[in-house]
Homo-oligomer: A and B are copies of this chain.
């Protein structure tokens, strides 16, 4: 038999707990603040939006949090996911590096998002919630929550950024296949949406606007809560299931990563792959390079300010300290819709600020070039978001080639591109361009950051 390319865990090997990095952070995360009072928010402030178990997880300092049995039972449908050694890509690059990737595209919705959609739906169900509202950009999150809702019999209302709603009818159809309702945002259903449309009837929307709409709808009804697909602590924690698996699989492979790469939009798939390793380091273990790769057109980690900001455009959410481009910032319409968010997860921002991780930004053409090279070598067409991680990993492998080093590179391939083929059509047709944010708009958005007395 030839060289091994896949490392498979049994269901028995699937992690029984999520890893919570809060337990190991060298300094605590800055408090979440109430926008009115400037004081730290308490559980009661969040109760209209989230079930109590989620709120507890959001603030927990426990290192390990049990994955409930019914959630594990559903995880089993696609988990443990495979870890691959990218031998064919290594040969194509002629690199001495050993490249591994964790592949989350095998989930029902084709990305890592169900890892948190399922427990969020479960905890909501436990507390009697009948309906969950949410937002989605490219649609990975919306379709994942739609999937989870169908399993637990919870109605799902998804506010989908209008430009994606129009460009990605297949994603919408997937949500509807799972029985969810999908609404183009800004919509006329909410005050937030109507306010945006009054100012700009042609608004193509943004994640910040869609969050405002979903939060507003959830706050209005007692039987309705809100769910977020990234950014928050509990979401990042749910994603550690993938990194904990990858860690065991790397041990099976007998290799230990020197560099860990993930793409960052809100930060959840990146945290999923990185935090189990970072936690080990923070507890005195080996230090590894950890690289967050973000789009140059929406560069919160590399160009944003580490400051208190709103999570949404209408300023309905609490204030969190994060790397942000300003909640009024609207990135240009590049194809990785899942990375078009003005802020970054507070936990990821915090460890970046502590110098524990690196960040790097790429334009989209370089990412698609990497994605096509990957597809031709490995047989999997990545989502545009995942192409950022592929680019980052390939560049590390090329560096190893230049330096003659056989380092071990691990990256997270967070989803497949089956619903994003229009982007590839544009790329092959020469219609895809590198896009840049408007520097003036960024300056204005940063100037408009809320002033917070506590800072």
Contacts and interface: CB of A to CB of B under 8 A. Distances in A.
A52 interface: no
A296 interface: no
Given A177-B372, A428-B176, A1 B379 contact: no
A176 B69 contact: no
A418 interface: yes
Given A76-B6, A173-B428, A375 B1 contact: no
Given A376-B150, A419-B418, A177 B6 contact: no
A110 B381 CA distance: 11
A421 B170 contact: yes
Given A151-B379, A376-B178, A173 B421 contact: yes
Given A5-B76, A177-B372, A379-B147, A422 B70 contact: no
A1 B424 contact: no
Interface string A43-85: 0000000000000000000000000011011001100000010
A73 B379 contact: no
A187 B345 CA distance: 52
A110 to B, nearest CB: 7
A173 B422 CA distance: 8
Nearest to A73: B2
A174 B427 CA distance: 12
A173 B418 CA distance: 10
B421 A88 contact: no
Contacts of A177: 372, 375-376, 381, 421, 424
Given A1-B73, A376-B150, A173 B424 contact: yes
